[in-house]
Structure 1
Amino acid sequence: MPALAAPLIAWYRDTARDLPWRRAGFGAWGTLVSEFMLQQTPVNRVIPHLEAWLDRWPTPADLAAAAPAEAVTQWANLGYPRRALWLHRAAVEIRDRHDGIVPRDVEALLALTGIGDYTARAVAVFAYGDRHPVVDTNTRRVLARVVDGVAQAGPPGKADLARMEAQLPADLTAAAIVNAAAMELGAIVCTARSPKCDVCPLSAQCAWRNAGYPASEDRRRRQAKYEGSDRQARGAVMKVLREAAPTAVPLDAVIADWPDPVQRDRAIDSLIADGLAEAADAMLFLPR
């Protein structure tokens, strides 16, 4: 068994958070929805939205039968609402290509709208129990510190999968736990800014700790300020449309008091270009 596997498995079994998608009987559709929602959104914000979503649309076919506008409205304030449109399109593809069953095969998952390497492997591993490396930002940070002895991981790439593969036991169940444990460790212990090395199960093996915590360049891109940004303007437009749905809103009434009218128009145009809004007869509305 790889050197990191045993301590990770023991630690995870003792300390893993009780999250809905980790409970017995949580199916592949729920796992897929949770992974869409967890992209760039904290766990505590996702859980109530996930539960409400699955209550409303317990299968891909249920979501596929709904209008895209309903998906965007249900997405509420989770942010990055294109994810709602992608999830709706993926549900339609699952219904039409896979008889309403979330596929198990990684390549079939990758062919669905909005699904990349991480999400495809997460569904195959955590929903179906297959053996694949699953790598997110937290996993990459753990590997960078424990294995490479650097504070921050380099740019993501295909090599990350091979590096995680080297840490996986042959046993399917154990491999799934190691995948989950590495992510969990990075999320709550081996954090970006204040790692809790005193409670880390890998502290004795950590090359970064053993080297005296050498500093390294922070390669993470810093997100632009939200206040006054185009993102804020887009969010304000989406809020108006969600609250009015399914009724359309006169274009000139959409955030009419926005302090920068050029930014307001740019936000509306970008939402239309992204398929998150539609315009007709001087009215704006969610996609139908």
Structure 2
Amino acid sequence: MAAQEMTQVLNEWFRQNARDLPWRDPSTSAWGILVSEFMSQQTQVERVIPHWEEWMSRWPKPSDLAADAPGEAVRAWKRLGYPRRALWLHKAATQIATEHNDVVPHDVDVLLSLTGIGPYTARAVAAFAFGAPEPVVDTNTRRVIARAVHGIAAAGMPAARDLEDMSALLPSDHREAAVFNAAAMELGAIVCTARKPACSACPIAELCEWRGSGFPDNAPVKRPKQAKFEGSDRQVRGLIMAAMRAAAGPLTREAAIVAGVESGAGRGGVGSGGVDSGARSDQAQRAYDSLIADGLIVEYDGKVRLP
């Protein structure tokens, strides 16, 4: 498959069919793109949009967020999930405001020095905010490359080869490289999906090695299934955090823990599946302790509040 032909076709398709996401607006700041990347980790884009819009309206610059307490970031995160991301984003905003004159860095190595920013996010910000010719690879991109380039039904575990594969496909023109990074992600998100790929709508179907091989069932060994959310410690953590966000002021330690116990009584498999109140209390205590350890809630004078 000719890489140049694939990138050209896919970029043309993206320009005509890309979803209208607010952070793709040319006027979006590098800070806005950074916020979108934090919020989109392991979260559906449709859920992110209203939160991103509220966030950017309230905190249009890193210094705006840094001026508020970390707890305000956690509160504004609402039910996006993985609320530690809110704390990390607040810390990154503080670093940008104090160490980088309120300007998001463009260099990948400098971006990596910010709290909560790993290799993927650093390259994504460099590429999408500044047009740097960095290979940006997420789950969707890996799936597209596995099928179109290698003829494999699904990508295996992440590996260094992923970046090499993407680098080999990137156009030499920096602007086109940034478009291709986004285009490959978009194709994997809405066409070349994991379970039901819409091959008839794929712009590179004629170039796809997997399709050309007859769609072989040659995927690598699947990862172990993720534990169910329903009835999990993670769900109880979310219930306690919801009570903390909704409270007009600090709660007692006991009230915070009870929020996890009482809310758990109606959860499938927790209150009705033979799990007694003592087990639910132990689970709520465990969830509470983990929130303290993560810095998402803070104890003082027998009470608990957001940081």
Superposition TM-score, scaled by structure 1 size = 0.96
Task: Verify: 1:141 aligned to 2:133, yes or no.
Answer: no
Task: Verify: 1:75 aligned to 2:77, yes or no.
Answer: yes
Task: Verify: 1:222 aligned to 2:210, yes or no.
Answer: no
Q: CA–CA distance in 1 between the matches of 2:212 and 2:246?
A: 54
1:244 — aligned with what? 247
SS at match of 2:4: coil
Amino acid at match of 1:143: I
Contact 2:73–2:90 (CA<8 Å) still a contact in 1? yes
Query: Which of 70-79 and 278-287 deviates more?
Result: 278-287
Q: CA–CA distance in 2 between the matches of 1:68 and 1:249?
A: 17
Contact 2:236–2:287 (CA<8 Å) still a contact in 1? yes
SS at match of 2:254: helix
Q: CA–CA distance in 2 between the matches of 1:181 and 1:59?
A: 28
1:104 — aligned with what? 106
1:55 — aligned with what? 57
Q: CA–CA distance in 2 between the matches of 1:139 and 1:86?
A: 25
1:186-201 map, 5 Å? 186-201=188-203
Contact 2:156–2:220 (CA<8 Å) still a contact in 1? no
Query: Which of 80-89 and 116-125 deviates more?
Result: 116-125
Shift in Å, 1:38: 0.4
Task: Verify: 1:176 aligned to 2:178, yes or no.
Answer: yes
Shift in Å, 1:27: 0.8
SS at match of 1:228: coil
1:270 — aligned with what? 290
Q: CA–CA distance in 2 between the matches of 1:166 and 1:207?
A: 16
Shift in Å, 1:218: 5.1
Shift in Å, 1:157: 2.2
Shift in Å, 1:145: 0.5
SS at match of 2:28: coil
Amino acid at match of 2:113: A
Equivalent of residue 303 in structure 2, options 270, 275, 283: 283
SS at match of 1:148: coil
1:233 — aligned with what? 236
Task: Verify: 1:261 aligned to 2:281, yes or no.
Answer: yes
1:92 — aligned with what? 94
Q: CA–CA distance in 2 between the matches of 1:233 and 1:120?
A: 32
Q: CA offsets per residue over residues 187-232 of structure 1, 9 Å max, x none?
A: 0000000000011111111111111111124524422111111011
Query: Which of 91-100 and 253-262 deviates more?
Result: 253-262
Q: CA–CA distance in 1 between the matches of 2:110 and 2:220?
A: 37
Q: CA–CA distance in 1 between the matches of 2:102 and 2:199?
A: 45
1:33 — aligned with what? 35
Query: Which of 11-20 and 260-269 deviates more?
Result: 11-20
2:271 — aligned with what? none
Gaps of 5+ in 2: 265-276
2:152 — aligned with what? 150
SS at match of 1:153: coil
Contact 1:11–1:201 (CA<8 Å) still a contact in 2? yes
Q: Percent identity?
A: 57
Q: CA–CA distance in 2 between the matches of 1:221 and 1:125?
A: 32
Q: CA–CA distance in 2 between the matches of 1:93 and 1:159?
A: 32
Shift in Å, 1:89: 0.4
Give the aligned CA root-mean-square deviation in angstroms: 1.2
Amino acid at match of 2:292: I
Shift in Å, 1:97: 1.3
Contact 1:3–1:167 (CA<8 Å) still a contact in 2? no
Q: CA–CA distance in 1 between the matches of 2:108 and 2:223?
A: 28
Amino acid at match of 2:79: N
SS at match of 2:304: strand
Amino acid at match of 2:234: R
Gaps of 5+ in 1: none
Contact 1:251–1:284 (CA<8 Å) still a contact in 2? yes
1:124 — aligned with what? 126
